Amino acid sequence: MSNPKERILVIGACGQIGVELTLALRKIYGNTNVVASDLRNEHELLKGTGPYVSLDVMNKEMLHVLVIRHNITQVYLLAAILSATGEKNPGLAWHINMQSLINVLEIAKEEDLHKLYWPSSIAVFGANSPHQHTPQHTIIEPSTVYGISKFAGERWCEYYHKHFGVDVRSLRYPGLISYKSAPGGGTTDYAIEMCYEATENGHYKSYIAENTYLPMMYMPDAIRATIELMETDAKNISLHTSYNLNAVSFSPKEIAAEIKKHIPGFTISYDPDYRQEIANSWPQSIDDNLARKDWGWKPEYDLAAMTEDMLKNLKKKR
Ligand code: NAD
Ligand code: AKB
């Protein structure tokens, strides 16, 4: 059961996940108890739904003041630089992804916050990890700066839990597919772009090759997984790094075929770029048995249900 006394801060609330997660948290905890924050201007969908604060998470003093002033008890840290953007500026990606987490972990320790959520990614895995049903515990040798920062972040989460008792929880999200807020520079964004282009222009040029499989998930499943993980009793959590999380696996060719069922004239061409190498290093599917066993995770959307819902909503947006 969620505690109505919780006061939540979402950092990176205007991003692809942040908008939908903030709205979902406001439904559960009450609009005024969920403070949204971001570097960017407030997202259209958040306007009028609850408090919004402009924040650079890299400024630890400002973050600390905000946490105290708003009596914050839980933080969801979503600010990050994703895989494709990260490869263009590795130093910046490392700096932002690491320092933001350390700032929040330190404040969680100092202010004795009840809980902290920070997402990891399938990007922690690398070319030497098993690519099919990639296990929770296996070879982890990420090749992108994003993946390296996520792996280091997982270790920091476990460290703060073990040494300072911080209740930090984490999921290794697959590529997330959604239509409400635009994606922020990931390798898996191709699938979202394909749905947008299919409804707008009837054609898409994919930067990922046709038979490249990647683990993916529809946003409603990701939001539900996040809230279920955060609401489960602490005694159910056996892992303080980050849980593998699986839903669907598909290739560009497969999602294109699914789109054609709804938009028969849709055509696709392929022109792989630097993101292909990133995709090649990642798993094709994930073993998430531990998440299922510990806190009862079960996805709902398959490729067909996800594509149908995406296209229906994108058509409504036009
Ligand atoms: P996003 O890029 O869409 O959103 C991130 C938000 O953080 C943006 O609104 C950005 O303005 C904000 N931000 C950046 N720097 C900031 C700063 N210094 N201070 C405050 N805000 C700042 O990313 P997303 O897709 O919503 O991802 C959220 C988290 O989930 C990230 O940690 C990401 O690595 C992780 N994740 C996402 C996916 C996915 O497919 N979207 C998959 C795996 C993991
Ligand atoms: C990306 O492609 O960078 C993200 C992720 C899987 O972490 N979507």
Give the chain as a DSSP string: ---TT--EEEETTTSHHHHHHHHHHHHHH-GGGEEEEESSPPPTTTTTSS-EEE--TT-HHHHHHHHHHTT--EEEE-----HHHHHHSHHHHHHHHHHHHHHHHHHHHHTT-SEEE--EEGGG--TTS-SSSB-SSS-----SHHHHHHHHHHHHHHHHHHHH---EE-EEE-EEE-SSS---S-STTHHHHHHHHHHHTSEEEESS-TT--EEEEEHHHHHHHHHHHHHS-GGG---SS-EE---EEE-HHHHHHHHHHHSTT-EEEE---HHHHHHHHS-SSB--HHHHHHH-------HHHHHHHHHHHHHHH-
Q: What structural domains does the chain harbor?
A: 8-173+218-244 (3.40.50.720), 176-216+247-317 (3.90.25.10)
pLDDT tens for residues 16-33? 999 999 999 999 999 999
Ligand 2 mutation target, pool 173, 188, 193, most atoms within 8 A of CB: 188
Tell me if 124 CB under 6 Å of ligand 1: no
State percent of the chain over pLDDT 70: 99
Q: Does 5 score more than 90 pLDDT?
A: no
Q: What is the pLDDT, as a whole number, of residue 3? A: 59
pLDDT tens for residues 203-258? 999 999 999 999 999 999 999 999 999 999 999 999 999 999 999 999 999 999 99
> What mean pLDDT do residues 133-161 have?
98
Is residue 273 very low, low, confident or very high in pLDDT (cuts 50, 70, 90)?
Answer: very high
Ligand 2 centre to CA of 278 (Å) is 10
The ligand 2 site (C-beta within 6 Å) comprises: 82-83, 121-123, 146, 175, 186-188
Ligand 1 mutation target, pool 52, 78, 181, most atoms within 8 A of CB: 78
Catalytic residue status for 207: no
Ligand 2 centre to CA of 280 (Å) is 13
Q: Does 2 score more than 80 pLDDT?
A: no
Tell me if 39 CB under 6 Å of ligand 1: yes
**Nearest atom (ligand 1) to Cα of 185:** 2
Q: Does 1 score more than 70 pLDDT?
A: no
Q: What is the pLDDT, as a whole number, of residue 290? A: 98
Q: What is the pLDDT, as a whole number, of residue 4? A: 58
Is residue 318 very low, low, confident or very high in pLDDT (cuts 50, 70, 90)?
Answer: confident
